Amino acid sequence: MSFYDIIYQLSEKLDTELLVDSNGACQFIIDNDIAIQIEPDASEENILIVSPIFELPPGKFRQEVLAAALAANVEFPPPLATLAYAKQTNTLVLFSYLATKALHIDALSDYLSHFLAISLDWKNALDSGQTSPVKTYMTKDQNIDLTN
């Protein structure tokens, strides 16, 4: 399935207009709070899903948040998405790559729902001064089948 097909079908599934911008990416905002960007990788065999969560100013809080994010990334079973630090914007981001070959739009919609929940949990925790959310997350071994 092409990236444009994915965005078109996702737009229909979510009943909202989603457009691919001049950079070849699609960004949308959920509840005026969380941005999600979807774009194809260079091979166009995968899509990258990214959500900037929180700008982290220099200091102890940033160090503690990044340590918590690293710890969350190595939990077993592995998390559904990966937390990273975007140095250019001093931002904690959540990202994931998904293969497009047999991607089913209903499964992608379900995946995005879980992805959004993780983003919101981290954002809410950081907004309240916590270094990470208390909650545990859905993980890869919980078998979200993206092909049907």
- Reported as type and span, the H/E element at residue 34 is strand 34-40
Mind listing the pLDDT tens digit of every residue in the chain (148 residues)?
789 999 999 999 999 999 999 999 999 998 888 999 999 999 989 999 999 999 999 999 999 999 999 999 998 777 889 999 999 999 999 999 999 988 899 999 999 999 999 999 999 999 999 999 985 555 554 555 555 5
Calculate the CA 113 to chain-centre distance: 10
Structural domains of the chain sorted by starting position, each given as residue range(s) with its CATH number in brackets = 3-142 (3.30.1460.10)
Say what angle helices 105-127 and 3-14 make with each other, to 10 degrees: 70
CA–CA gap between residue 9 and residue 117 (Å, rounded): 22
CA–CA gap between residue 71 and residue 47 (Å, rounded): 25
State the pLDDT at residue 45.
92
How many C-beta neighbours within 10 Å does residue 44 have?
Answer: 11
DSSP state of 146: T
pTM, two decimals, is: 0.86
Calculate the CA 148 to chain-centre distance: 20
State the pLDDT at residue 108.
93
